[in-house]
Structure formats: C-alpha cells, structure tokens
Amino acid sequence: MLVISRKINEKIKIGDNIEIYIISIDKNQIKLGIEAPKEVTILRGELIESIKEENKKAIKTINIENLKNFSKVINENKSTGKS
C-alpha cells in the first residue's frame, strides 16, 4: 500500500486518466473528488462488502427447482421467438 500525504486542493494521479482531488478535510472525514473515464467503476469499499454479503444471503435462498423452471421457460421462449 502506498501512503501519501496531501493537502486540500492537491491531487493524486493514477495512470494517465484518473485523478483524485482532496476537496475538504473536516475532523475525521476527508472529501475526495475523482475524475475517471465513464467505463471505470468506482465504488466505496464498504459498499462492495455489503453487496458481497447480500449475494451470499441470496445464494442461500435460491430454490433450485424454481431456477430450473425459469431457465426452461426462457429457453422455450427463445425457441418459439417470444420475448
């Protein structure tokens, strides 16, 4: 991990097309501005962890028979040209 000290209005460049700006610092919170191409996904770390946990819960509640029936209906619709 690279640790860098920055002040307000200073920036960090990642590669040629990503810039992270220090917008403000208030006690224990830092506001960042991120400029990156639209195709670059930017997510907060805690959001990623939350999504992973929700996915784990969803996997436990999947009914395999319902999933097989859904797949069957989709395949039947493809073969008959229905959407």
- For 21-67, what is each residue's pLDDT tens digit? 999 999 999 999 999 999 999 988 888 888 888 888 877 777 777 77
How far apart CA 50 and CA 48 sit, in angstroms, is 5
Cα–Cα distance, 41 to 46 (Å, whole number): 15
Place of tokens 């997510």: 43
Widest Cα–Cα separation across the chain = 62
Q: Which amino acid is at 25?
A: I
**Amino acid, single-letter form, for residue 44:** R
Task: Please tell me the pTM assigned to this model.
Answer: 0.58
Residue 38 is predicted with a pLDDT of: 95
